[in-house]
Every structure is written in C-alpha cells, then in structure tokens.
Amino acid sequence: PAFYRSAGQGLLGAERRTAEAAAVREWSLRAVDGLATCVPVVKVQHAFYERLGAPGVAALEEVTAAAKDAGMLVIADAKRGD
C-alpha cells in the first residue's frame, strides 16, 4: 500500500523503524478487520515485525491481540534457521 511505501522516507535509524512499524501496524490491523468475518486463522510472521525493533514487536503484540479479540486463532511463525 502507498501509506507503507512512503513510511519512513527521509528518516533514519529509530525514527524510520518507528514510522515503518506504524505503517505495518495499520496495514495489519486493516487486514484483521477485513478478514475476521471470513477467515478463522491468521499466521503472523515474527521476523516481519521484529526487523523493525521494539516498535515492530509492539505492533506485533497489538495485531495479535486484535486478531484474538476478533475471534481468530493466531499461529506464530517464529522459527529460525531453516
């Protein structure tokens, strides 16, 4: 989405990660909201969020909570090294 592509432009370091995490959070929450009535399970990929540092992990926690609140089963894709 356009709002994600423009997130963090011109920013560096922590400010960029914070802006990108906010965009990822927004996109993910929109997906949960739009799919909750027709999709029973969501699989969140931890690395997608973790690459953004603490703001990304906070977004992951919020998205996971929103999916659970919407009645979805949440599967964590958190494996490494394969």
Active site residues: 79
Angle (deg, nearest 10), helices 13-35 and 53-69:
10
* Segment 11-14 long-range contacts (CB within 8 Å, at least 24 positions apart): 14/53
CA-wise closest residue to 30 among 9, 51, 2, 57: 2
Task: Let me know: does 46 contact 60? Beta carbons within 8 Å.
Answer: yes
